[in-house]
Amino acid sequence: MSDPKKTANELLSKASISAAVYSQLDQKETDDIVEAVVKAGLSNRVKLARMAAEETGKGLWKDKVIKNVVSTLGVYFDLIGEKTAGVIKEDRLRGITEIAQPLGPILGVIPVTNPTSTVMFKILISLKARNPIIISPHRNAMGCCAEAARICYRAALEAGAPDDCVQWVTEFSRDLTHELMTHPDLALILATGGSGLVKAAYSSGTPALGVGAGNVPVYIEKTADIPFAVENIILSKAFDNGTICASEQAVVVEEAIAERVRSEFEKQNCYFLPPPEVEKFEKIAVDPERGVMNPAVVGQSAVRIAEMIGITVPEDTRILLAPQTEVGLEYPLSGEVLAPVLAFYVCEDLNQALKLCIELNYRGGIGHTASIFSNDDDTIRQFSELMNAGRIVVNTPSSQGAVGGIFNALHPSFTLGCGAGGKNITTDNITAANLINVKRICRRRENDNLLSIPTEIYLDESRGAEEIISRYNWNH
């Protein structure tokens, strides 16, 4: 294995030179590069999806094709017209002109659950902001990530991008990741992965945009269209075998409609685990030593997970549901499980349901996403105000809704910020706008500022705040 420090220096040296050249490109040249990369990625959407599913052993290749489409075509149309080079805004009235400035070399850390789609997404938003990027894949997705990066890089070069605007790590090494994260020439870390990795990114001393864990509660309120709600939850949770961190983790219903909801799930090919089988699954769902999801469960089908438990379910089973009564670390299924498994809670009334959703939210998904199915605006508003989540999806499949660009106008993104609650810096769906510095030309204004009032007035303690405010308003 190569020397991590030497490799990091080589990668960042090339990236720094690339950044210097890239910063001189104008908006038209930048957009031409982005369009070329989109076309290349979109043309290889099926190949890369198959590679990702085969190499990682997680998810469904057909669903990964859709992810690849969202990360290229969806992102492209979201970025069209976005100014990321030169003057991006001019306010003549206030005398302020805003100019986009690239950040510099970016490190893109890639998860095993969404490898090729996240690679293409991070490359596109980085190139749109005129930043070179180094891709650091999960150790179990090195091959498909390298191929996705290679396809994008080749297209970028042909469109006039500078050499080394896209690079990728060819061998997994924690030491190399550390050297890259802490390198003085690195401008930003785009971290998508487990909580340990994201924490390492934020602790590196380099600016970072990371993501928190998702533990999405979905509340089916009594006014909801129940068949529609169940259909959408299944559409979301079964997608790519539940590998999107914005997928629903726990269904919360009121007692008055619980049997109708349960019957509808069963009608739509879902299986409720009896208590003994729930206990068996709890023992394999989470690694007891580390308290995290068992990697062997992540991204597997409902039928395969049933086999792991030691039971047989119909071949067309889409989701396994595990009835629960409590929330906490000692209840593994009340936390995030990236697989087609849902906890199922029954509450007495609205107040208890909201309280439970808050507990689930704080169990391990603060700042991420919460979901509600309801036709009552007051309940939707109350739910939204109580949840500590960057995205509240309403009557929408949570996975596709939170990612954006499909069921709503959120920025299509494979890096979903969770704000301060999730130990992130933003709740945004990260996009190119998050990857530029904005410098401001500030032109002088006369007699229209705080000093338009004589300084003597400020120095006179007998002058009250009301008088000073009224004087300023009059002068202003």
3-state helix, strand, coil in the chain (%, to 5): 45, 20, 35
Query: Under 8 Å CB-to-CB from 135, ≥6 apart: which residues?
Result: 108, 110, 119, 122, 123, 145, 146, 149, 166, 167, 168, 169
What tens digit of pLDDT does each residue of 2-18 get? 899 999 999 999 999 99
- Span 90-94, mean pLDDT? 90
Q: Please, what CATH class does the domain formed by 4-210+431-437 belong to?
A: alpha beta
Is the pLDDT at 467 greater than 60? The verdict is: yes
Residues of the chain with CATH 3.40.309.10: 216-409
Is the pLDDT at 93 greater than 90? The verdict is: no
Is the pLDDT at 430 greater than 80? The verdict is: yes
- Span 52-64, mean pLDDT? 97
Sole residue written with tokens 């605007």: 165
Rounded CA gap, 397 and 359, in Å? 21
Three-state DSSP at 255 gives: helix
* 108: nearest Cα among 435, 360, 456: 435
**What's residue 380's pLDDT?**
97
Query: Under 8 Å CB-to-CB from 16, ≥6 apart: which residues?
Result: 104, 105, 185
Rounded CA gap, 289 and 219, in Å? 31
**What's residue 65's pLDDT?**
98
Rounded CA gap, 426 and 444, in Å? 32
Burial class of residue 139 (count of CB atoms within 10 Å of its CB; 0-12, 13-18, 19+):
exposed
**What's residue 288's pLDDT?**
67
**What separation in angstroms does the CA of 99 have from each of 23, 85, 90, 124, 469?**
12, 7, 9, 20, 33
**What's residue 423's pLDDT?**
84
Is the pLDDT at 476 greater than 90? The verdict is: no
Is the pLDDT at 475 greater than 60? The verdict is: no
Contact (Cβ atoms closer than 8 angstroms) between residue 183 and residue 8: yes
Q: What is the dihedral of CA 69, 73, 77, 80, to 10 degrees?
A: 140
Mean pLDDT of the chain: 93
Q: Which residues are known catalytic residues?
A: 245
Burial class of residue 310 (count of CB atoms within 10 Å of its CB; 0-12, 13-18, 19+):
exposed
**What's residue 1's pLDDT?**
66
**What's residue 122's pLDDT?**
98
Hey, how many other C-beta atoms are within 10 angstroms of the C-beta on 24?
A: 10
Lowest mean pLDDT segment, chosen from 108-117, 331-340, 344-353, 448-457: 448-457
282 vs 146 pLDDT, higher one: 146
Is the pLDDT at 472 greater than 80? The verdict is: no
Q: Would strands 96-102 and 436-442 be described as parallel, antiparallel, or unpaired?
A: antiparallel
H helical segments located in 57-163: 61-69, 75-79, 115-128, 142-158
Is the pLDDT at 316 greater than 90? The verdict is: yes
Residue 341 in tokens: 């498994």
Domain 216-409: which topology? Answer: Aldehyde Dehydrogenase; Chain A, domain 2 (3.40.309)
* 201: nearest Cα among 424, 241, 210: 210
Residues of the chain with CATH 3.40.605.10: 4-210+431-437
Report the percent of the chain where pLDDT is more than 90. 80
Contact (Cβ atoms closer than 8 angstroms) between residue 87 and residue 98: yes
Start-to-end Cα distance in the chain: 66
Is the pLDDT at 330 greater than 80? The verdict is: yes
**What's residue 271's pLDDT?**
97
**What's residue 474's pLDDT?**
61
Rounded CA gap, 445 and 125, in Å? 36
Residue 356 in tokens: 């439970």
What tens digit of pLDDT does each residue of 188-244 get? 999 988 778 888 898 999 999 988 788 999 999 999 999 999 999 999 999 999 999
- Span 321-336, mean pLDDT? 92
Task: Say which amino acid occupies 53.
Answer: A
**What's residue 36's pLDDT?**
98
Contact (Cβ atoms closer than 8 angstroms) between residue 137 and residue 120: no
- Span 279-290, mean pLDDT? 82
**What's residue 29's pLDDT?**
98
pTM: 0.94
**What's residue 329's pLDDT?**
85
What tens digit of pLDDT does each residue of 73-87 get? 999 999 999 999 999
Burial 433-463 (b: 16+ CB within 10 A, else e): bbbbeeeeeeeeeeeeeeeebeeeeeeeeee
What tens digit of pLDDT does each residue of 227-238 get? 999 999 999 999
Sole residue written with tokens 């309940």: 379
